[in-house]
């Protein structure tokens, strides 16, 4: 099946089959990439509009009990200087974000059970008083914890499935399973969170067929948000000798993601910016509508090294905000002035 036939079918059906996705992912032409990016950009405009949502991320702890083979802060990496930001400081950083005009704050950390469910619920409840939306991204926790945070006012939860291939998942995440990850995503959905997930492009052992599966899974999960970034090998991990994910392939997957879940919020990821100075712009012009500036206090920023050469380790929140505003303006788009709550279907209200 040719690229043209796949795209004509998409116009009719509003989706791709696994075989079509595999075809579009394996076609080597750079003109195909440009065609997909143009389509994705049009669909982005029609379904989520021209505004760009800004989410401030606070990486509050790099302690982690997991052993994910790709991740620089996995438990086995003894070279990491570990830090934990006290709850009071997390709240203060969040207040700063609210004062700067952020409408969403994302509290992210390794899977760190030092923070009890109650600790985080307390942080969420207080941050909610600012009027901002709160996204949590603290990994796999018991359902009761997810429930407590939801009751405390958390709006969204971010938990990437990383790959839809169960065998690859098991190899990359010793001792746990894709099934368990999907169970968490189901629980979050049932509790009424807006759910974000996503995956990496270029993982060692990933195939075109499994990437097609990743894109289908985004749709099956009816995600409100999806983060898609290139895999970047970290020297302190078992995958340090693996190849880096490709920027053009990541852009191709991002464009297809926009076509599979037109209604969703898709960030131009930091991982993409880390590989390409132009990453943010490329993400925003090829399906993306979200930017997530890093608000982690500078003293800790470098230590949250999930992959090397991470972008934005030295810029202050004000600098990052100014850069984002300039970029968005240059693209002829505007910064969203609302919380940018997610929706699950193209026809649903904003
Ligand atoms: N390269 C790219 N992305 C990574 N992540 C973790 N480690 C890496 C890496 N080496 C991503 C995962 C995770 C998110 C926090 O960062 O997708 O969910």
The structure tokens 């995958």 sit at: 239
C-alpha to C-alpha distance for 50 and 164, rounded to whole angstroms: 30
Residue 256 backbone phi and psi in degrees, to 5: -65, -35
What's the pLDDT tens digit per position in 94-138?
Answer: 999 999 999 999 999 999 999 999 999 999 999 999 999 999 999
> Ligand 1: distance of its center to the CA of 347 in Å?
32
State which ligand 1 atom lies nearest to the alpha carbon of 199.
Answer: 17
Enumerate residues 6+ apart whose C-beta is below 8 A from 192: 150
Which string of DSSP letters, residue by residue, matches 306-339? SSTT-TTSS--HHHHHHHHHHHHHHTT-EE--S-
State which ligand 1 atom lies nearest to the alpha carbon of 70.
Answer: 10
pLDDT value at residue 115 = 98
Residue from 307, 309, 311, 312 to probe ligand 1 pocket by mutation (most atoms less than 8 Å from CB):
307
> Ligand 1: distance of its center to the CA of 269 in Å?
10
pLDDT value at residue 346 = 53
Enumerate residues 6+ apart whose C-beta is below 8 A from 208: 22, 25, 26
* Two structure tokens written together for 273: 């910016």
What's the pLDDT tens digit per position in 291-309?
Answer: 999 999 999 999 999 999 8
Instruction: Give yes or no for residue 70 having a pLDDT over 50.
Output: yes
What's the pLDDT tens digit per position in 236-285?
Answer: 999 999 999 999 999 999 999 999 999 999 999 999 999 999 999 999 99
CA-based max dimension of the chain: 57
C-alpha to C-alpha distance for 121 and 33, rounded to whole angstroms: 43
The confidence band for 30, taking pLDDT boundaries of 50, 70 and 90, is: confident
Closest residue CA from atom 3 of ligand 1: 231
pLDDT value at residue 345 = 65
Question: Is residue 211 within 6 Å of ligand 1 at its C-beta?
Answer: no
Question: Is residue 311 within 6 Å of ligand 1 at its C-beta?
Answer: no
Instruction: Give yes or no for residue 66 having a pLDDT over 90.
Output: yes
Closest residue CA from atom 18 of ligand 1: 160
Instruction: Give yes or no for residue 310 having a pLDDT over 90.
Output: no
pLDDT value at residue 311 = 83
State which ligand 1 atom lies nearest to the alpha carbon of 233.
Answer: 10
Instruction: Give yes or no for residue 348 having a pLDDT over 70.
Output: no
Which string of DSSP letters, residue by residue, matches 164-198? S-HHHHHHHSTT--HHHHHHHHHHHHHTT-EEEEE
Question: Is residue 162 within 6 Å of ligand 1 at its C-beta?
Answer: yes
| Terminal-to-terminal C-alpha distance of the chain | 36
């Amino acid at each position: 099946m040719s690229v043209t036939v796949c795209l004509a079918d998409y116009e009719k059906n509003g989706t791709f089959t696994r075989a079509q996705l595999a075809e579009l992912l394996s076609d080597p032409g750079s003109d195909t990439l440009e065609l997909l990016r143009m389509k994705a950009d049009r669909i982005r405009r029609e379904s989520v509009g021209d505004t760009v949502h800004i989410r401030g991320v606070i990486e509050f702890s790099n302690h982690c009990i997991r052993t994910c083979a790709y991740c620089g802060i996995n438990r086995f990496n003894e070279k990491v200087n570990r830090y934990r930001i006290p709850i009071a400081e997390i709240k203060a950083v969040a207040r700063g974000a609210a004062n700067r005009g952020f409408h969403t704050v994302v509290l992210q950390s390794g899977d760190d059970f030092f923070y009890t469910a109650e600790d985080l619920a307390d942080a969420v409840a207080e941050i909610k008083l600012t009027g901002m939306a709160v996204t949590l991204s603290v990994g796999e926790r018991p359902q009761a914890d997810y429930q407590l945070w939801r009751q405390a006012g958390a709006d969204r939860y971010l938990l990437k499935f990383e790959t839809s291939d169960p065998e690859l998942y098991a190899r990359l995440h010793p001792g746990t399973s894709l099934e368990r990850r999907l169970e968490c995503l189901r629980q979050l959905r049932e509790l009424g969170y807006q759910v974000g997930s996503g995956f990496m492009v270029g993982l060692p052992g990933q195939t075109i067929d499994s990437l097609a599966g990743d894109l289908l899974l985004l749709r099956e999960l009816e995600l409100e948000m999806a983060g898609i970034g290139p895999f970047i090998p970290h020297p302190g991990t078992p995958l340090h000798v693996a190849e880096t994910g490709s920027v053009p392939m990541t852009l191709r997957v991002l464009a297809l993601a926009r076509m599979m879940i037109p209604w969703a919020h898709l960030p131009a990821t930091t991982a993409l910016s880390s590989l390409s100075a132009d990453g943010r712009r490329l993400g925003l012009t090829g399906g993306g509508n979200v930017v997530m500036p890093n608000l982690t206090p500078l003293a800790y920023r470098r230590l949250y090294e999930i992959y090397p050469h991470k972008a934005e380790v030295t810029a202050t929140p004000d600098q990052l905000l100014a850069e984002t505003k300039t970029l968005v303006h240059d693209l002829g788009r505007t910064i969203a002035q609302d919380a940018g709550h997610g929706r699950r279907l193209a026809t649903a209200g904003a």
